[in-house]
Amino acid sequence: MMLREINFDGIVGPSHNYAGLSFGNLAAMRNAGAVSRPRAAALQGLEKMRANLRLGLAQGLFVPQPRPARAWLADLGTDAAQADAVLRANAMSASAMWAANAATVSPAPDTADGRTHLTVANLRTMPHRSHEWLATMAQLRVAFADERHFAVHAPVPPAFGDEGAANHMRLAERHDALGVEVFVYGVSGGAFPARQHLEASRAIARLNRLDPARTLFVQQSEEAIAAGAFHNDVVAVANERVLFAHELAFAGKERFLKELGEKLPGLEYVEVPTAEVSLDDAIRSYLFNAQLVTPPDGVTTLVVPGEAHETASVWGWLQRHLAGNGAIRRVEVVDVRESMANGGGPACLRLRVVADPATIDPRFLVDESRLDQLVDLVGREWPDRIDVDELGDPALIAQVERARAALLEALNLGELI
């Protein structure tokens, strides 16, 4: 098999809105009540996928989930017409676009049975995300249906919170080589909840059939969570031998780095000091919620949002790192401003899967032509703007459902309707 990393980006759904549902996500809280632009958000996401293709990366997609979440509302004894404003907003959330929270992925070189394992996240901490797992699991079981190569596991029981790959990192000499898998959990974040439980991470390591000798569990620092780093991928990102992190990302950092270096002797640790980039600047700019990738030319590349370029301390640090011949050799800037305003940057929008593309359902893989088709469809079908006060409007709900149905028809994914 020809294993390579594939980034599966969530298409921003037609119900994308700023209801401010994610407590601890400072951008989502700050922009609560603002008018969203679902069409612009989806087009920005598609353009990010195109930028990845032009770097030579393999690119996939996930489709939006049904909105409103009618089955969830029915379980609560109501419907889209009768629900109160808060329940309706939770049922209309488009947050499944952040595919980094879909599942935790362990590729074949790391697992006992030589298959790629995906454990769906339960996302139980936030009501608007807690109902995503059923549709996520259904989609993953279509995309990765070949049981010779993949195993898709149901979520860890909701007694223990799990938010997926946003709190998981994998390091290896190459994507197709035996790796070290790192699970980052939280204990406390002051006023904000720690969303990833240690017991959930341990359970996923068992479900994904990982070697305990090549698996690490590290605590996210309380300072990071309290500052608004609600997931580890807001303060750290890894790719092959490179771990890129803020100075305050981890509790017990020295011991963690020592253990990681022993398991991966070629480790390159790149740390951004607080004295040069504060936690506030790192979180506001989403410097670490970036895609750290290795294109076919072998040049380690960091794909950052435009906000990183606009934050003086962050952009200054990046320029000094590049000039100093550091581990990151190229920086690309993408515009995902509409998703950033809801608290998700380039890394949030994608789930990384190391696999042979030939083993994946081709309907979930994209090229330039497919992206052209999707751009045209989004331009026709997605709402231009949504005010949160309009979420119960029957005309808007009908448009949201019609837009998703048109997308599934275009992708020939009718079984997901």
The catalytic site residues sit at: 163, 231, 348
Given the structure tokens 């581990």, which residue do they identify? 327
Q: 265 with 235: CB under 8 angstroms?
A: no
Q: How far is the C-alpha of 400 from the C-alpha of 122, rounded, in Å? A: 25
Enclosing H/E stretch for 237 = strand 236-239
Q: 182 with 170: CB under 8 angstroms?
A: yes
Cβ atoms within 10 Å of 273's Cβ, excluding its own: 11
Q: What are phi and psi of 163, to 5 degrees?
A: -120, 20
Q: What are phi and psi of 318, to 5 degrees?
A: -60, -40
Q: How far is the C-alpha of 264 from the C-alpha of 268, rounded, in Å? A: 9
Q: What is the largest distance, in Å, between two alpha-carbon atoms of the chain?
A: 60
Q: How far is the C-alpha of 355 from the C-alpha of 164, rounded, in Å? A: 18
Enclosing H/E stretch for 331 = strand 330-334
Cα 142–chain centre separation: 19
- Structure tokens that stand for 293 in this block: 């990738």
CA distances from 215 to 155, 162, 206, 268 (A): 20, 17, 10, 18
Cβ atoms within 10 Å of 33's Cβ, excluding its own: 11
**CA torsion through residues 109, 115, 119, 120, sign:** positive
Termini Cα distance of the chain:
32
Q: What are phi and psi of 310, to 5 degrees?
A: -85, -10
